[in-house]
């Protein structure tokens, strides 16, 4: 496994509340899974994915957790064009034209 170098920008994960520690007044499906936290920062010592590490956040706080990724990519995008929407302008303009024609 690749060693990630000290000082790299990484992401960690930790469990804040285990199943059994969660609030009483929440739905079962939420109660049955742990509350997890994800955070990014500079790795404080060389480490491999899955190891317990310390990071220093962008504003300088030290946080501990399990190393899960090195500089993860922003994964959100624009999706696909939605064919149902291609005709919106036409639908509005036809209304106005019909009215003017009267």
Partner 1 sequence: MRKKNKIMKMALGIDYEEFEEDGISFNYEKLMEKASYPLEKIRAIQSETKVGNTPLFELRNINKAVRALSSPGKGARIFLKDEAANASGSFKARRASVSVFHAQEKGYKGVVAATSGNYGAAVASQANMRNLKSIIVQEVFDSRGYGQPEILEKGRKCETYGAEVIQLTVGPELFYVFLKVLEETGYFNASLYTPFAIAGIETLGYEIAEQLQKSEGKYPDAVVITNAGGGNVTGTARGLIKAGSTNTKIIGTSVDLKGLHMASDRDFNRKSFTTGHTGFGVPFTTQPDRADVPRNAARTLRYIDRYVTISQGEVFYITEALSQLEGIERGPAGNISLAAAFSIAQEMREDEIIVVQETEYTGAGKHVTAQMTFAREENGIEVKKGNPEEQIPGKNIVIPESPALIKVKELDLNELRTSYIQKQVSGTEIDKLSERELKFLANETKSSVNFIKEVLLNLK
Binding residues for partner 1 (CB under 8 A):
16-17, 22-23, 25-27, 29-30, 33-41, 57-61, 74-82, 84-85, 88-89, 91-93, 95-96, 98-99
Name the minimum Å distance from CB 34 to partner 1.
Answer: 8
Which residue, among 99, 14, 3, 77, has the nearest Cα to 43 in the 3D structure? 3
14 CB-contact burial (10 Å; exposed 0-12 / middle 13-18 / buried 19+): middle
Token reading at 4: 């990630």
Name the minimum Å distance from CB 47 to partner 1.
Answer: 20
Q: Given the complex with partner 1, which of 3 and 16 has the nearer CB atom? A: 16
């Amino acid at each position: 496994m690749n060693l990630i170098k000290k000082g790299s920008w990484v992401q960690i994960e930790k469990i804040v509340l285990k199943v059994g520690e969660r609030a009483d007044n929440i739905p079962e499906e939420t109660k049955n899974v742990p509350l997890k936290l994800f955070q990014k920062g500079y790795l404080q010592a060389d480490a491999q994915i899955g190891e317990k590490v310390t990071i220093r956040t962008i504003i300088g706080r030290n946080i501990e957790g399990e190393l899960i990724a090195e500089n993860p990519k922003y994964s959100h995008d624009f999706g696909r064009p939605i064919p149902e929407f291609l005709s919106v302008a036409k639908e509005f303009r036809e209304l106005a034209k019909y009215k003017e024609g009267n």
